[in-house]
Amino acid sequence: MWEIAGKALESRFFIGTAMYDSPQVMQQSIEASLSQVVTVSLRRQMAGNSNNQVFWEFLQDFNQTNSAKNRYLLPNTAGCHSAREAITLAQMARELFKTNWIKLEVIGDDYTLQPDPFELVDAAKELVAQGFEVFPYCTDDLVLCEKLLSVGCKILMPWGAPIGTGKGLINPYALQTLRNRFPDVPLIVDAGIGSPSHAALAMEMGFDGVLLNTAVAKAQDSIVMAKAFKLAIEAGRLAFEAGKMQAQNRANASTPVVGMPFWHAVDS
């Protein structure tokens, strides 16, 4: 068990709800992941849209089973480009989803979907003041992360790589620096994860969790991939807790050399 935002969780796998082949595949993938934190969003409501209704029913079911499974919704502010937009969307999310958790996204560049650090800090500061539990989606920049903590964020969610690229951890040095400098802050690698090995690596580095969506939703078999990520994240965490060996340049035989027959035998 571990704790984030005052909630005790068993799973360290946060999963998104977008881009699945069908609502059924989404639901089964989430079940296979055993995730306890599921991301959702808000968009214009078109009257009579059956997809919205299906998703709403999923949310109702999710909420009804919440007490038994201890699961939580994490609404996002995806698509926002300014602090003002993000603050308004967060307020709307709080009323709609009845949670003060918000995955704060403020995009600064449309090609990379890189967060705008200045607008992000402004939005985070205001939302913390309004009682939100802010999960800021940020880059791996150390100073930005320090600023987010200084305005009251208690959690950081640095990217592994740009959203949806599947490139994995493109700057392990920066991520490790965050882990080392903020040993007591819950750190979630959010975005850019493409395969279970990427997630395992993040967990081996000591990150507290991983948030991903595309890598599961766009797998040929999303349900199996969700399970693969679950196992990888668990394996990575166990490896971190176990403490891995130090890498070295020189080979070192693992089989005992004492008693070796024909040791250094030379043909006569």
Partner 1 sequence: MQIVFNGQSLTVSGPCSISELLSVHELLKNTALDQVVMAVNQNFVHKHAYPDYQLKEGDNIEMLGAVVGG
CB of residue 28 to partner 1, shortest distance in Å? 15
- Say whether 148 sits in a helix, a strand or coil: helix
Short-list 182, 170, 171, CA closest to 206: 182
Listing DSSP states for 104-129 in one string gives E--EEETTTTEE-HHHHHHHHHHHHH
How far lies 242's CA from each of 177, 178, 191, 245, in Å?
20, 21, 26, 10
What track of x and - describes contact with partner 1 for positions 91 through 130 (by CB under 8 A)?
xxx-xxx---------------------------------
- Per CB under 8 A, 84 contacts partner 1: yes
CA distance 79 to 212: 17
The answer to whether 136 and 119 have CB atoms below 8 angstroms apart is no
- Per CB under 8 A, 183 contacts partner 1: no
Residue from 7, 69, 98, 103 carrying the catalytic annotation: 103
- Distance separating the N- and C-terminal Cα atoms of the chain: 65
Residue 160 makes CB contacts below 8 A (sequence gap 6+) with 167, 168, 169, 170, 175, 189, 190, 191, 192, 193, 198, 202
Stretch that binds partner 1, among 35-43, 120-128, 147-155, 175-183 (CB under 8 A): 35-43
Interacting residue with partner 1 among 4, 11, 12, 16 (CB under 8 A)? 16
CB of residue 49 to partner 1, shortest distance in Å? 8
Stretch that binds partner 1, among 72-80, 114-122, 142-150, 233-241 (CB under 8 A): 72-80
What track of x and - describes contact with partner 1 for positions 42 through 71 (by CB under 8 A)?
xxxxxxx---xx-xx--x------------
Please say if 103 is a catalytic residue. yes
Q: In the complex, which residues of this chain contact partner 1 (CB under 8 A)?
A: 16-20, 26, 39-48, 52-53, 55-56, 59, 75-76, 78, 84-85, 88-89, 91-93, 95-97, 163, 191, 212-214
The catalytic site residues sit at: 103
